[in-house]
Structure 1
Amino acid sequence: MQYSIESYIDIAKTIIEGQRPGNNVYRHLALTGDKDVFALMAGADLIRDVFFKREIHLCAICNGKSGMCSEDCKFCSQSKFHTSDIEIYPLMPNAELQKGAYELMDTDVHRYSIVTTGKGLAENEVRQVADALADLPSKELSYCVSLGILDDTDMDYLKDHGIGRYHHNLETCRSHFDAVCTSHTYDDRINTIKKAKKAGLSVCSGGIFGVGESMAQVLELAFELRELQVDAVPINFLTPIPGTFFEGKNNLTPLTCLKIISIMRYVLPKTDIIICGGRIQNLKMLHPLVFQAGANGIMTGNYLTTKGNQLQEDLEMIHQLGFKSRP
């Protein structure tokens, strides 16, 4: 069975009306071939337009603690198991953690996040990050942290100090996780998300693509994120950094990236989908089409150990496409 563009639009309209297609329909979407990716995108674009109009969410991060991570995530240059040439430093002092936020306060960026290396921050470090953000003006930006696997007490402390969102990626689906990381379990990540939600934090959780997953496993991850009812889904595309296990192993194409974004939008129609690391490197000349594929947000500026588009470049792209930043 081959879908026409009208078929994709009809599926999108069904989703917009609040109905959930059967898993067989989603599986067929995941099997869309390259020549039909733009038809698939048409439905994803319609869903995005209905629920998010032409407003784009912008976020930026600070790499607050870098390198020497105890975990063996095969894509990550910060793992102590890898030999990547990166900057290594302990948790930044408060003034450095706050610097990026102050620089963004009069811009179109909506959310500022502090990200740290390691399985999870120590209790005193969690409190330092929370206190640093609590001292910032709360009306200028929304604040997020990504501090690894924490306990309930830590999550409560973050919530009580004005942090609204916790970021913790699943990275990939359950059936593929052991091929990506073995130093902690998938349930460790699931339970961290549940603890954040229990504390009243919104949750940003997604994954990285291009690490050997199949399209069926892309769909599996989308279903898992839907089940967890996360609030935002960051999509990262592998940058095969020298010194990591995945050095030289990325087989993504621009059309595959657009297809992954579209699948996520069909499964998660009302969830923020934010395109993050690897978007320029992998989408290349098709990079501006991420919004037509269903995304309604991008991470701007640099990533953890790789460079990204700077804010003014991203704002020019958004405006040239007829979009605007979210108020």
Structure 2
Amino acid sequence: MSFSIHAILKKAQEDKPLSTVEALDILRAKGSNLSFILAGAHALREKSFGGRAELCSIINAKSGRCAENCAFCAQSSHHNAQVPVYALKSRDEIVAGAITAEKEGSHCYGIVTSGTRVTPGEEFDRLLAAIREIRATTRIAPSASLGILDDLTAAALADAGCVTYHHNLETARSFFPQICSTHAYDEDVETVKVAKRAGMKVCCGGIFGLGETLEQRVELAMTLRELDVDSVPLNFLNPIEGTPLAGSSHLTPMDCLRIIALFRYLLPSKRISVCGGRQQNLRDLQSWMFMAGASGTMIGNYLTTCGRNPEDDLQMFKDLEIETDGCC
């Protein structure tokens, strides 16, 4: 290995960026070298978050018929995946989901809709009303993932009480054209900036195992560092039949741990949450994600696939001696 773990840990502790070579060495580490890297990532997590973890949940508030052609997504109208298709849920259904999420221990509740963007009208008004009610009746922080934003839409969300806007870049700029051709990468980057200008926190990450190179994993991490996002969700591909990536399998559990550690070293003080695909990709090593530097995870179901039983996750936190109460 071409670097000293002590040297890169010192860089991360001082929030200095790693070189590309150092970042790639993390992604190639094996054996005892990887053990040292994971220990450093664990120390970085504890420095910023102590022994606590933040939990989030989502609701698939509007499903299917998306005009985008993201190769991994089962909700794209360009693909043939068999997923539920329905219009925007009622305000009561969205609020009820928040109440359930809070009872299950989540600190952040994401309202997710399919489609390129949300536009002014009855549906957007319904979403704003639901966010206002969630803020008024629960302690959970509402988040929204509604696609590409403009300044007016972002301002309305912030005024309604939306704490965080979620919008993934998905992958590196250099690989994005292989994954999506229906909108430009710059539109996603601009949405991050629009949300920040409106005063919302930004949750922005990606999905791994799409066929990207190690260099492109580093590229995405460095882009997110430059954008100074508040939290980073890391997803691992769970290939769905009917999508172009059906049958793909590019990740091992150790690959996932190396990716988590990379992001912790490059974004030492940011919230890093492991979300979709953790059961399928980490398998028996799910609990190791916190040792690799993750500071949170998504509990409950995902958009079109089932998640782990929340009770099993809560037991995992207990076994790891990780607290989940009062973290926000």
Which TM-score applies when normalising by structure 2? 0.95
For residues 70 and 241 of structure 1, the distance between their equivalents in structure 2, rounded to whole angstroms, comes to 18
Q: Does the 8 Å CA contact 1:64/1:116 hold for their aligned counterparts?
A: yes
Q: Is 1:77 aligned to 2:74, yes or no?
A: yes
Which structure 2 residues correspond to residues 97-246 of structure 1 after superposition, within 5 A? 97-124=94-121, 125-138=123-136, 140-246=139-245
Q: Please give the residue correspondences for 1:34-113 in structure 2 after superposition, counting only pairs within 5 Å.
A: 36-113=33-110
- Matched residue, 1:262: 261
Asked if structure 2 preserves the Cα contact closer than 8 Å seen for 1:235 and 1:276, the reply is yes
CA distance in 2, matches of 1:35, 1:14: 21
Deviates more, 1:212-221 or 1:104-113: 104-113
Any conservation in 2 of the 1:111–1:142 contact (CA below 8 Å)?
A: yes
Q: Distance in 1 between matches of 2:134 and 2:27?
A: 43
TM-score (norm 1): 0.95
Amino acid at match of 2:157: L
| Higher mean C-alpha displacement, 305-314 vs 99-108 | 99-108
Q: Residue 134 of structure 1: CA displacement?
A: 0.3
Pairs aligned (count): 324
Alignment partners' CA distance in 2, 1:199 and 1:305: 30
Q: Distance in 2 between matches of 1:192 and 1:277?
A: 22
Secondary structure at the counterpart of residue 291 of structure 2 = coil
Question: What 5-or-longer segments of structure 2 have no aligned partner?
Answer: none
Deviation of 1:54 (Å): 1.0
Using the alignment, how far apart are the partners of 1:313 and 1:33 within structure 2? 29
Residues 67, 80 of structure 1: 8 Å contact kept: yes
The amino acid across from 2:297 in the alignment is: I
Q: Secondary structure at the match of 1:325?
A: coil
Paired AA for residue 222 in structure 2: F
Distance 2:271 2:139 in 1: 20
Structure 2 vs 1, CA of residues 106 and 307 (structure 1 numbering), >3 Å: closer, same or farther? closer
Once the 2 structures are TM-superposed, how far is the Cα of residue 19 of structure 1 from its aligned partner? 3.6
Which of 18, 22, 27 lines up with 1:25 in the alignment? 22
User: 4+ residue runs of structure 1 moved beyond 6 angstroms?
Assistant: none
Asked if 2 retains the 8 angstrom alpha-carbon contact of 1:37 and 1:258, the reply is no
